[in-house]
Structures are given as C-alpha cells and as structure tokens.
Amino acid sequence: MDLGAANFKDNVGKALADDKLQNAMTETGPRFIYKRTKAREALPEFDQLRDQARDIKDHVLDHLDIYLETYEAKVKATGGYVHWAETPDDARAAVLDICRKANARMVTKGKSMISEEIDLNQHLEANGITPVETDLGEYIIQLRNERPSHIIAPAVHLTRDQVEADFRRVHTHLDPKRDLTEIPALVEEARAVLRQKYLTADVGITGANFLIAETGTSIIVTNEGNGDLTQTLPKVHIVLASIEKLVPTLEDATTILRVLARSATGQDFSNYTTFSTGGRRPGDPDGPVEYHVILLDNGRTNVLGTEFQDMLRCIRCGACLNHCPVYNAVGGHAYGWVYPGPIGSVVTPALIGIENAKHLPNASTFCGRCEEVCPMRIPIPKMLRHWREKEFERHLQPTSMRWGLGLWAWMAKRPKLYRKATALAARVLANQAFGKGRLKKVPLASGWTEFRDMPAPQGKTFHQLWKERRS
Amino acid sequence: MSARETILGRVRAKLPKGPEGARREAVELHMAQHPRNLIPARGQGDIDHRIRVFTEMMLAVGGTVEIIDDINEVPHHVAVYLRDGNLPAVVRRGSDPLLAKLPWHRGGTLEVTEGPAVDADRASISHAFAGVAESGTIVQISGPENPTTLNFLPEAHIVVLESAALFASYEEAWSKLRNSMGEGNMPRTVNMISGPSRTADIEQTIVRPAHGPKNMHVIIVR
C-alpha cells in the first residue's frame, strides 16, 4: 500500500507545476459539470429521487447485518459462493485461491475500486497470474503503472498524445507507422487488443455497484461493455464488493441507478447495466460456470454508528470530484491513495487511518458544492470538519498551525487586548499598502502573498463597525 | 472466529440497539413487498407516447429504431439493415420461439445461424424481454433463447421489441420478471442496454464503439 496520502502538500506542489496535467484538467473539468446539469434539468423528479436514494441506504445501514445474511443465503441458493474478507490480505488470498483452482494464467478485469483498494493486480502478478484491465481508462493507466486519478474516469489526467505514446510503447506487434492521431484510432486499437484477451482469459473479475439482498444479485454499470465481456466469456466470474454495497430490492436498486449515471456522466442511464445472479444455469449456452463474490470490510465496520456513517452511502459516482475546485486544480493523484476528491478526503482517513492521511481533511475550501451535488446527500464538509477535529485531538496538524491557533485562542479569551491588537494590525497593514489597497508582502503570510496580493484592511475593524451599528 | 462472524459481529455491535425481532420483521416486510419508489413521469403514457419517448432516447444515445406493423416483416428489415450497413447477410440468433418461427426466407439471401455468439459473428438478433421508454433501454435475459453473448460480441445488435413489452419504467419490467420467474428469482443475467457501446475515457471525447457493438438497431413491432 503506498501511503502517498500523507504527502498531499508535496503532491499538490508537483501537480500545480505539471503543465500536461493542468491542460487535461482544464479541458475536462467543466464538461462533467455541464453534462450533469443538463441531465438534472431534464428530470424534474431528480432531487426527490436523491432523497429516496439516501433513505434506502440509511435503512440498509441500520439493518446491515440482516441484509448481509439475507444476501449471502440467496447467493448460495442460486449456486454462487460468498467469501468474507476482513482485510485486503484476506480478499487477495480468496481471489488468488479461486484463480489457482481454475488454473488461471490470465484474468481480465472490469473496473473495480475495491481491486485498487486491495492492490489486487500486484498480488496476482507476484503469483504468476497476469491481470488485464479492460476498461479503456484503466487499461491506459495499467500500461503506465499508475492509480486511477478519478473514480469513473481513471485516465482523466492524461491527454491524447500521452495515450498515443503509451500504445506505441506497449503495442510493439503493430505497425510503427500506423496513424494514431485521432482518438477513435486509439479506441479501435485498444478494442482489438483487448478482444483477444476476453476470449482467452481464464477468470473474469469485476466490481459491483450494488448487491441486491432480495435476489442475491450483483450489478455492474459500464458504457464500454467491457465488464460484460469480462464476466461472460471466461468460465469463472469473481465479483469484488464491499459490505456497504447492499440494497434491499430490485426496485431500490433501480431508484439509485436513476441518480447514479446522471450524477456521474450526465447520462440518463449507462449503456450497460447488468444484473448477475449465480453461475450458468441448465441449458445456458454461455456465461460463467462459477460465480464468486468477495465481501470486503476493510475498516467499514469501524465507520458504522459513528459521525462518519453517512460516507457508507457513497455510490462512487464522482460528482463531488467533478465539482470540487481543489480536485480540479490538482487532479486525483495528489490525494495519494485510491479514492480522490472530497469523498476521498473523507473515506481515505477512515480506511487507512487519519495519521496516514493528514492534510486530506484540509484539502477543501468548504464551498459546499460536493454536498450540493451528491446524489446520496452525504454531508461531506461536515465530515471533513470532524476529521479536522480528530487531527487536532491527535496533534497531527503542523506545529505552525497549532501555534497560530493557540495564539489566536489566547487572544480571543482577552477581548480588550484582542480589539486593541486587531485595530493596531489593521492600521499598520493599511499604512503598508500606501493607499493602493493591496499588499505584496505580509510577515508570516508568504504562503499567500507569493501567489497573489493580499487585500489591505480598510477603515475600521469588524468590532468597531459592529459597535457603531448597534448604538 | 471466521471472517464472516467477525464482520457480522462488528456490524451488530455498532448498529442501533432495538428488539431483534422487530428489525428482522422490518427487513422481511420490505423485501416481501418490494414497494416501488418514485417513478418519473417521463415514460408514462399510452403506447404512442412510449414509442415516441423510447425512440427519442435511443436515438440520443446513438442507436437506431424502426417501427413496423407486421412481425413477419422482420426478416426483410434485417436483410435491408445489414445491406445498408455493408455487413454480410448473416445473422446469429438463439432458440427464441418467436424468432424461430419467423419467415426468414423473406430476407432473401439472409442466412440465420443459431447459438451463442462467437467472435467472428458480425451481426446478431435478439427478442427483447422488455423495453423501457424512460431511458430508451432494452432488457434482455440470459438463456438459450437469447444468449448473453449476442448482446456484446457482434458488431451489430438487432433487437425485436414487441410493443406490448415496451413499458414506461424499469419497474414494470421487474413486475414482468417476477410474474414469469417467481418472487425473488432472477435469471443468471439481466442486461439493460441503452444504445451501442461507447467510451469517453480519452479526453472526455465520446467514441463508439468501445468493446461491445458498434450499432444497436431496435425494431419495434406495433
């Protein structure tokens, strides 16, 4: 597990200086926002559906033990297997065991964040099994040995010319003079390369957007159809899911699906929404013979019943990333682990520990757009504040910040001194601006003034104005 | 203790305390009743409305639609579609009884093969279990009648959708499924398909196809 999540500050510096990344982010960021807005406007019931989606998940979380048991029983009844995994180690071992029993040498993979969370690819490779990512974005970043930089658009940080260079580097069996200047040519090449992989893979591994307790069903949602080829052609299908993916019924899954694609890509519905229940039935001429589900906890049960429980409603649509000014400025890799953006800053400390994710709760301007667009109405800013409190309690903040806050608190408890000091500071700073209203340098505030001018205080302090207006 | 017991134990320790029987009852009742939540108005209306909305939505996602009155005309329309798309006059189908009894000779030189799709197949035809107007979505269920691979491997996927199975919402498709398979039972795979395969993974630029069919053509039989 790389714990770059603790290096957010350094990562940000690098991201801001990376011209290619900045180009990619400037191009794509606004498109996501535009598409979601259009989809939302086209469905008058959208916000009501969000309320219902939230209520469904809350109900599930309050009855999670019963839903898990019910789901497991149903999967077994339909001929599938459920493997419970407390830790990433357990999950990796379970997957490897299934692959070994199937004598697997190559496995195809649909997009799965749980796979990232448990670092499955490295584990399979270390054990002589070749994993092949089939979602185009995931395929690209696998070639680059990178993590996804976005939950639903893993290669959003890359530009076309970077992808071309990677394809030329890896697809050496193809004509070096072929024309790859247009994006469709790149897609066509990936299609041809991956088609052969689907047909020869021994095991197909997918994630799960939802698990349905009523029927023992797992759901995947894709636009490419890669998840379907991955799970339909090999003889074994493994589903990677975490325990909070449960929903009660087909109807409940349907309601949440109505808000998922709209929030994610601005589509009314994804191209392929697939419901899988067990392995091949008598008479089935295709489909996997074996069907396995890995049910991962990895710290989620620690979140239940706490002030952070609401994060378990997340359906990984990525809307909060798309609307976040911080994410759009620095991209997903700066967050240093699997889940980037606002929801990542909430989830990462919960899963790998706040001590390994410090700074992430501060990667927010608290503008509130993440909560505003969240289809599951997760109060992300509130939870970031809770994490900041934990950081403070555990002395994880930088010394300068603790000192600053300590000094401020000392002053704030002495109102007379506070008023005098602020009035003096305001006067001094106003003088320093020489009537220009801007300050190019302020002692102890170079972090601000290195990049922009500080507006100079003008006239009276807030306290003085307040007093005047009340009298 | 097994991982299962550990995880369930932790969940139970964290959940709000309440009488165990009442909690179980609440879950069982909800699953038995599987109530419908809010259904958007968009797809709801008579068959003309549903066909109109379905067509609009399917075209918007890059699929094509034609509406015919006589199911026996399907072979002719399939032949024309393949010809116009510069595809060989060969189409793969499953053992679906409705498709099996169509007068395929009316497709001229059209050759019909039966079974699951193979990589070399250029075109397939399925009989839709349902259609959903709301988002221009086709619902397919797995099995020998309409094998799942028909939906994904060939370049062109043709779907026959009877107007009686063209519903306003997904929920009606679920009702049909519950009626045909019994409560709580599912086929191995249910595929909801809304248009041909696409990707936007490079610079957010939409390209069709990605890994699945390049074209999806729905023939609605009134």
Map tokens 């001229």 to a residue: B108
Establish, for the pair of chains A and B, how many residue pairs have beta carbons separated by less than 8 Å: 263
Q: Is the peptide bond before B209 cis (omega within 30 degrees of 0)?
A: yes
Given this model, what pLDDT does residue A3 score? 54
Q: Does B212 touch chain A (CB under 8 A)?
A: yes
Residue-by-residue DSSP string for A279-328: SPPTT-SSS-SEEEEEEE-TTHHHHTTSTTGGGGG-----HHHHT-HHHH
Comparing CB atoms, the residue among B10, B147, B213 nearest residue A301 is B10
- Does the beta-carbon distance from A52 to B38 stay under 8 Å? yes
pLDDT 10s digits, A12-41: 999 999 999 998 888 777 889 999 999 999
Cα–Cα distance, B209 to B198 (Å, whole number)? 5
* A93 — pLDDT class (breaks 50, 70, 90): very high
- Does the beta-carbon distance from B212 to A70 stay under 8 Å? no
Comparing CB atoms, the residue among A213, A258, A285 nearest residue B31 is A213
Mean pLDDT score, A368-395: 95
Given this model, what pLDDT does residue A1 score? 44
Classify the complex by whether its ipTM is higher than 0.90, answering yes or no: yes
The whole-chain average pLDDT of chain B stands at: 97
Cα–Cα distance, A320 to A351 (Å, whole number)? 19
The whole-chain average pLDDT of chain A stands at: 94
CB A46 within 8 A of CB A53: no
Cα–Cα distance, A54 to A354 (Å, whole number)? 26
Map tokens 């909800």 to a residue: B30
The encoded tokens of residue A354 equal: 């706040």
User: Architecture of A43-298 per CATH?
Assistant: 3-Layer(aba) Sandwich (3.40)
Q: Which of B:38-57 have CB within 8 Å of A?
A: 38, 40-42, 57
pLDDT surpasses 80 at A151: yes
Given this model, what pLDDT does residue A186 score? 98
Q: What percent of chain A has pLDDT over 90?
A: 80
pLDDT 10s digits, B127-185: 999 999 999 999 999 999 999 999 999 999 999 999 999 999 999 999 999 999 999 99
Higher pLDDT, B90 or B204: B90
Domain spanning B42-221, CATH class: alpha beta
Q: Which residues contact A458 (CB under 8 A, 6 or more apart)?
A: A430, A437
Q: Of the given ranges (A400-404, B1-5, B81-85, B178-182), which has the lowest mean pLDDT?
A: A400-404
- Does the beta-carbon distance from A269 to B26 stay under 8 Å? no
Given this model, what pLDDT does residue A2 score? 55
**Domain positions in chain A:** 43-298, 414-470
Map tokens 């053992």 to a residue: B95
Given this model, what pLDDT does residue A429 score? 87
Map tokens 């996927």 to a residue: B157
Contacts of A56 in chain B (CB under 8 A): 37
pLDDT 10s digits, B205-217: 999 999 999 999 9
Q: Structure pTM?
A: 0.94
pLDDT 10s digits, A237-263: 999 999 999 999 999 999 999 999 999
pLDDT 10s digits, A184-193: 999 999 999 9
Instruction: Determine the residue among B188, B205, B208, B216 to mutate to test chain A binding: the one whose Cβ has the most chain A Cβ atoms within 10 Å.
Output: B188
Mean pLDDT score, A407-426: 91
- Does the beta-carbon distance from B15 to A64 stay under 8 Å? yes
Phi, psi at A80, each rounded to 5°: -90, 175
- Does the beta-carbon distance from A68 to B149 stay under 8 Å? no
Mean pLDDT score, A201-207: 98
**Domain positions in chain B:** 1-35, 42-221
Mean pLDDT score, A48-77: 98
Residues of B47-61 as b/e, b for ≥16 C-beta within 10 angstroms?
Answer: eeebbebbbebbeeb
Q: Which residues contact A89 (CB under 8 A, 6 or more apart)?
A: none
